[in-house]
Amino acid sequence: MPNTQDGWIGGAKYEDFMGRWSRKLAPEFVAWLKIPAGAHWLDVGCGTGALTEAISMHADPASVVGCDPSAAFVEYATRQTRNGRVSFVVAGAGSLPKHAEGYDCVSSLLALNFFPDHVSAVREMRSLVQSGGVVSACVWDYAGKMEFLRYFWDVVVEENPSTREQDEGVRFPICNPASLAELFKTAGLAEVVCEPIDIPTKFKDFDDYWRPLLAGTGPAAAYVASLEQNRREALHRMLENKLRRSEHGAIDLIARAWAVRGTVS
């Protein structure tokens, strides 16, 4: 599960940094999955509830259980959700909640790369799905077109090459289509498909880009928090000079995610 050194803290701060983008991605992911109405879902690593909310709003489920090892995230997600078909529980890989008849779809949005043992996690997800059901996940393309993080880490590593191992594109080699497809096949899933989903990430100005990086949530923000003031200011200047902006100061970028699914035969 997420490394505590990555600074996973309060739900509101996560929303400002990453949640606003995961809430754009989640409905696209649900539409891509094409799960029939009336299904029972499990959302693994639900965080602040972006995928759970998208399922409840767009997939007409019979039920959705969202689980996360962070009690703070589960508390936040519970407060934000008013739907009798949705419930949340504090649980992570190794102790995922079961459904008496098996789930129709067990899915994970933007969490799979943080699991310490990817194969065991996907196998556990598979074990909870009834025959003919679906296991799926979606992760950011950290090494490629997840642009606002790619710009950040490229500047960080250029300024200090010793930080390369902290770069999420390096840390999470699972986040590419070949590796994801191989993972799902190794975990015993059939009919495996992996495709990209792109969403726009528009920041109204540089402050809108920089401010969430000061909140300490996620690997990039945790790195910023670790810097002394003068180095933080230098990073601010380098990023401000690097990021391309429109004539009105807006920063228009793309965030690519890789969506993968497989069937339980």
Q: Is the dihedral of CA 57, 59, 61, 63 positive or negative?
A: negative
The pLDDT of residue 132: 97
The pLDDT of residue 215: 82
* Dist CA 64 CA 84 (whole Å): 10
Measured in degrees and rounded to the nearest 5, phi and psi for residue 171 equal -65, -30
The pLDDT of residue 17: 79
The pLDDT of residue 7: 47
The pLDDT of residue 9: 54
The pLDDT of residue 91: 96
The radius of gyration computed from the CA coordinates of the chain, to the nearest angstrom, equals: 18
For residue 118, list its beta bridge partners. Answer: none
The pLDDT of residue 11: 57
Q: How far is CA 259 from the centre of its chain?
A: 11
- Which portions of the chain are predicted below pLDDT 70? 1-13
Q: What is the pTM of this model?
A: 0.92
Strands 129-140 and 251-263: antiparallel
* Dist CA 141 CA 121 (whole Å): 20
Q: How far is CA 129 from the centre of its chain?
A: 21
The pLDDT of residue 10: 54
The pLDDT of residue 19: 82
The pLDDT of residue 30: 98
DSSP 8-state code for residue 1:
-
Q: Which residue has the tokens 């401010």?
A: 211
DSSP 8-state code for residue 36:
P
Other CB atoms within a 10 A radius of the CB of residue 122 amount to: 28
Cα-Cα end-to-end distance for the chain: 27
